[in-house]
Amino acid sequence: MPRNNNWFATRHLGLALIPLIITGCATMPTDHSLDAYQSLRDSGLPPVRPAWAGFNADEAASLLELCIELNNQDDRNNPKLSADPQYQARPNGWQLSYDSRHPGNSEWNKVWPWNGKADDDANPNNIKTNGLKPLNNAWLLAQSASDPGHIAIAIRGTVGEWTSILADAYATTTPAFAGIEYPKNTPLPIAFAATPNAEVHLGFGYAAFSLLFHPERGILAQLEQQQKRQNITRISITGHSQGAAVATLIHAFLYYASVDPRNPYQLPFTAKPALKSYLFAQPKPGNLQFAQDFSRIANETAFVVNNDRDPVPQVPLSLERVAEVVKYVQEDNSDVAVGGVLDDIAETIINTKNNVRGSIAEIFTSHVADQFEDTDIGASVERYFGNPPVKLADGKAVSLNYTLAGQLIPLFGLTKGGSCYTIGDRPDMLLQHHATSYRKLIAMQLLGKTDHCNDGH
């Protein structure tokens, strides 16, 4: 993310905050489809510490370099910044296997020859047009040089153009199971969680859908190609900013997809690969129930590295009413008169609020579903869900109690960047948010390095 783009910084935060006033819901199955996923959620009970578990600072630092490769492409292409070494990704030990921005590329920090205008749509370096439609998301797949069966999936964060910002702006909830609609009004049985009332950020959910299901440049398609070259045994998942939230959903999706005995997405693995994620500057990807579900399935294998001075992990704002808090109390005491008139008032508040949220959320859901009409996603929907897809029963999301998802590993930012990542003489509203700032804080606070300010490490 560019350091000097204050218009984008303001818009990034503003759009994340404003829509929360009008947020709402989409669809949720009312049949028994969710029950099977709940058994998959709890199939590992009691929780067992996976063999590849626990936070590793070296792993975190290594994967952050993949995020810098994606997020700082525009800095490397800027003549005023291209000579600054801090914008160069240093993914030591990783080989680039697939780059959705430039299929066929195998070079890190690639700057493609271009004689035209920098913002020309045909410019292969243009971050505004080299992502997957409709939300301009991008990702890459890397292979470990020391362990060929270990791959990494990295998700790009927000870039400074409207369609990418829209993924942040769709700050309304949708069910974590069957909340993705395609075609319009046709919810698909995609599982990001199995806990009742678990919900995810609508924009992040559709961004994950785009990255997973693109028939050629998508994650599922490229995992199939990678498996043909080398048996996959471990998958690291990472992302920065918006990319961290989307990566969280992709981790959750891959868990449920890989443990489903039906193998609905035709995953090519000979055995379920181990999953582990490092999520940097994560905006909140879903509500409390989603976070609890994710903690169950990603026990000691999902780590959120957030800077306490970074504003982005604080959005979307969590909006919660007393009526939501007492919902389960009312349900558990449905046969007992515990509140009388208060119960009736609470129920009226819940119903009124959800009706308003539902109407507004339907507008968002319909709009983003329309945007997918100009993509090739329909081929994957037909392949995995049939044509037409099985239509699920409708329902409603009920909460906006957003929270982070994963085990928090805190970083503590320095005022104005201290002497390490200084703000200089130009305002920088996202000083504490840049992936390069996270690189220096990790080196200083998690790796104990003393020379991290000199060369970008």
What's residue 167's pLDDT? 62
361-378 pLDDT, tens digit per residue, is 666 777 777 788 888 899
Res. 170 pLDDT band, cuts 50 70 90: low
Cβ within 8 Å of residue 448, ≥6 positions away: none
pLDDT digits (tens, 9 = 90+) for 174-216: 899 988 988 888 889 999 999 988 999 988 999 999 999 999 9
Structure confidence by residue, pLDDT tens digits, 147-167: 999 999 999 998 765 566 666
**Residue 113, preceding bond cis, omega within 30 degrees?**
no
Model confidence at 2: pLDDT above 90: no
What local confidence, expressed as pLDDT, does residue 325 receive?
66
The neighbour count for residue 455, using CB atoms within 10 Å, is: 10
Residue 234 reports pLDDT greater than 90: yes
H/E run at residue 154: strand 150-155
pLDDT in tens, 245-254: 999 999 999 9
pLDDT at residue 8, rounded to an integer: 42
Tokens 């390069």, located at residue: 436
Higher pLDDT, 308 or 345: 308
Q: Name residue, tokens 């590849």.
A: 52
Which of 9-18, 294-303, 389-398 holds the top average pLDDT?
294-303
User: Residue ranges of the domains in the chain?
Assistant: 6-445
List the single range of 83-92, 130-139, 351-360, 379-388 with lowest mean pLDDT: 351-360
Query: What is the enclosing helix (H) or strand (E) of 286?
Result: strand 286-287
H or E element in which residue 150 lies: strand 150-155
Q: Which residue has the higher pLDDT, 353 or 245?
A: 245
pLDDT of residue 446: 96
Query: Does the pLDDT of residue 19 top 50, yes or no?
Result: no
The mean pLDDT value for 27-47 works out to: 65
Residue type, 270: T
- Output the average pLDDT for the chain: 82
pLDDT at residue 3, as a whole number? 47
Average confidence (pLDDT) over 410-425: 86
User: What three-state secondary structure class fits 439?
Assistant: helix
Higher pLDDT, 325 or 315: 315
pLDDT at 364: 72
Q: What is the pLDDT of residue 1?
A: 44
CA 304 remoteness from chain centre: 12
Residue range 6-445 in CATH 3.40.50.620: no
The residue among 316 and 368 whose pLDDT is bigger is 316
- The proportion of the chain whose per-residue pLDDT surpasses 90, expressed as a percent, equals 49
Q: State mean pLDDT over 377-404.
A: 78
- Mean pLDDT of all residues in 412-421: 90
Rounded-to-integer distance, Cα 258 and Cα 37, Å: 12
Whole-number pLDDT of residue 61: 97
| Highest-confidence segment of 10-14, 122-126, 344-348, 403-407 | 403-407
What residues form DSSP beta bridges with 140? 99, 154
For 58-72, the pLDDT digits (tens) are 999 999 999 999 999
